[in-house]
Amino acid sequence: MTNTARILVVDDEEIVRLSHLRTLSSEHCKVEAVWNGRDALQAMGQQAYDLVLLDLRMPGMDGLSVLKAIKQNWPESEVIVITGYPEIESAKQATRLGAYDYLAKPVGPDEVISAANGAMLHKRWALHRDPSPASNETMTSSCGC
């Protein structure tokens, strides 16, 4: 059982990755970043992440394909989609696929922190409601940023 939230940032823009890393890194959050969907799924396969900040438009796999794979293989992970190309259809599709939130770039640090804390709170309540032993392996805290 751990109080440290594990967060994965997936974005092909280095400035965005660095911004989210700086915004969310704290003693309560371990944040890592990758630049594409394949690397994201590989990282997810190596360790569990409580939260994924996911860009939609990236080289190779697009964000909706990555979201679908995450929710199929790691349904306990919360996903926040952050895109520079917001559209009603992609927002609807992301929600149907299980995204916790959908944000339009540019997003400021306060908005990222608020969404991350909301997702972590949602995850904590979902784990609290699920009596299965697997659901209690990782009890997370909010990002406390």
Joined together, the tokens standing for residue 80 give: 């926040």
3-state SS class at 73: helix
- The 10s digit of each residue's pLDDT in 96-125 is 999 999 999 999 999 999 999 999 999 987
Q: Domain-by-domain residue ranges, the chain?
A: 5-136
Nearest to 48 by CA among 71, 74, 25, 66: 74
- Of the candidate CATH numbers 1.20.1260.10, 3.40.50.2300, 2.30.30.100, 3.30.70.20, the domain formed by 5-136 belongs to 3.40.50.2300
- The 10s digit of each residue's pLDDT in 63-82 is 999 999 999 999 999 999 99
Please provide the distance, in angstroms rounded to a whole number, between the alpha carbons at the two ends of the chain: 21
Name residues whose C-beta falls within 8 Å of residue 48's C-beta, 6 or more positions apart in sequence.
6, 74, 76, 77, 138
Which alpha helices (H) appear in the chain, and where do they start and end?
14-24, 37-46, 63-73, 88-97, 109-129
Cα 41 to Cα 17: distance, rounded to the nearest angstrom: 17
Q: Whole-structure pTM over 0.85, yes or no?
A: yes
